[in-house]
Amino acid sequence: MTREGIVNALVLVCLVLVPGWAFYAGETFTITLATRVVILALAAVGLNIALGLGGLVSLGHAVFFGLGGYTMGILAYHVQAYEPLFEWPFLFEGTKSMPAIWLAAVVLSALTAFVIGLLCLRTSGAYFIMITLAFGQMFYFFSISWSAYGGEDGLSIYVRNGFPGLNTLDPIQFYGLCFCVLVVVLWFASRLNRSRFGLALNAARQSPERVEAVGLRPFHLRLTAFVISGAVTGLAGALFADLNRFVSPAMFSWQMSGEIMILVILGGVGRLYGPVVGAIVFVALEHVLGDLSDYWHIYLGLLLLTVVLFVRGGLIGAVTGRRAAHD
């Protein structure tokens, strides 16, 4: 096992033990914090596919996070309000079933990522950052002005959506569900990284001319990565809304995009568990420092600066050194 493998395993063990302890100690709030960690990590794992593997610095991933959130919000709202979502061509009353909501969130985010990617990926560098940011702002202001679904006030969903065989209102059960989703997605991401596609995408980031010279289009590779990335972040958005039982335009905000990116950079760009470590540290700081001062972001900023300036490969890189060659 490589050193990075050991660190990754330890992180997973932490994510099992800490909530496990909290469950026995009756610390419900800690379980909720852990759930927040896992869901934010999932969103950042999504971004890491575009940013870490593809080198696509997207400052618009809140679009997918928010879309996931609003997918959940809208589908559940119609059930809650007894107003069918549509009556033609068939009657659809919305749904409170998580698997159905997840599917809708993933499909919608993927389609949106496809369209946005088609436009954005014609640019690169600072232009790419700006145009993804612009899309984020479009969705943000649209959600604010869409009064049918709460506009600026957002939407509250009073009862958490259901998952077959689980009581999702029980914090530890909901945590377990989110944790399982994260583990499955991490496993998928690690397979992706080592697949033919991952190899080509990695190379397209480092040397696009080379990829073209072997007969592949970097654009196609990047677009596919962007779609997968958006879909994962969208799924995280649906879970995040379910955690809070609330969705608002804040999920579409550029601060949200920035936060997801901070998680990736803090933990280690391109490292499989980077986003997970980033999310743990971020939520811990938010909680510990947030108690001390409303201005805790100052300390987050300092930490981020330190990591970016002095540590290659984020916090994971600080512990494991340079990225090991693929084993």
Partner 1 sequence: MTEAVLETRDLCKRFGALEVSKDVSISLRPGEIHAVIGPNGAGKSTLIKQICGAEKPDDGRIYLLGEDVTHLSVDARARAGLARTFQVSALAMEDTVLENAALGVVGASGKAFRFFRPVLKDTEVLSRVEAALERVGLADAAGKQTSELSHGQRRQLEVAIALTLAPKVFVMDEPMAGLGAEGSKTMTGFLDGLRHEAPILLVEHDMDAVFALADRISVLVYGSIIASGTVEEIRADPAVREAYLGDLS
207 is a contact residue toward partner 1 (CB under 8 A): yes
Nearer to partner 1, 30 or 224 (CB): 224
212 is a contact residue toward partner 1 (CB under 8 A): yes
202 is a contact residue toward partner 1 (CB under 8 A): yes
How far is 173 from 20, CA to CA, in rounded Å?
Answer: 11
Nearer to partner 1, 256 or 272 (CB): 272
1 is a contact residue toward partner 1 (CB under 8 A): no
Q: Give the alpha-carbon dihedral of 251, 257, 259, 260, to 10 degrees.
A: 100
Task: Choose among 315, 323, 239: nearest CA to 10.
Answer: 315
**What x/- string results for residues 214 through 233 when contact with partner 1 is judged by CB under 8 A?**
xxxx---x--x---------
191 is a contact residue toward partner 1 (CB under 8 A): yes
How far is 79 from 217, CA to CA, in rounded Å?
Answer: 45
10 is a contact residue toward partner 1 (CB under 8 A): no
2 is a contact residue toward partner 1 (CB under 8 A): no
311 is a contact residue toward partner 1 (CB under 8 A): no
How far is 207 from 93, CA to CA, in rounded Å?
Answer: 50
How far is 44 from 267, CA to CA, in rounded Å?
Answer: 10
Task: Choose among 100, 66, 97, 76: nearest CA to 230.
Answer: 66
323 is a contact residue toward partner 1 (CB under 8 A): yes
122 is a contact residue toward partner 1 (CB under 8 A): no
If you write DSSP's letter for every residue of 251-281 in order, what string do you get? GGSHHHHHHHHHHHHHH-TT-TTHHHHHHHH
How far is 128 from 6, CA to CA, in rounded Å?
Answer: 36
CA 222: distance to chain centroid?
18
Which of the residues 146 through 165 are near partner 1 (CB under 8 A)?
none
198 is a contact residue toward partner 1 (CB under 8 A): yes
Q: At what angle do helices 297-310 and 274-292 cross, to 10 degrees?
A: 140
**What x/- string results for residues 11 through 50 when contact with partner 1 is judged by CB under 8 A?**
----------------------------------------
Q: Is 54 exposed, middle or buried (0-12, 13-18, 19+ CB in 10 A)?
A: buried
Contact region with partner 1 (CB under 8 A), list: 5-13, 108-116, 117-125, 206-214: 206-214
Please, what sign has the CA dihedral across residues 87, 93, 99, 104?
Answer: positive
Contact region with partner 1 (CB under 8 A), list: 39-47, 68-76, 192-200, 237-245: 192-200
Contact region with partner 1 (CB under 8 A), list: 92-100, 171-179, 204-212, 246-254: 204-212
Binding site for partner 1 (CB under 8 A): 191-192, 194-200, 202-203, 206-207, 209-217, 221, 224, 323, 325-326
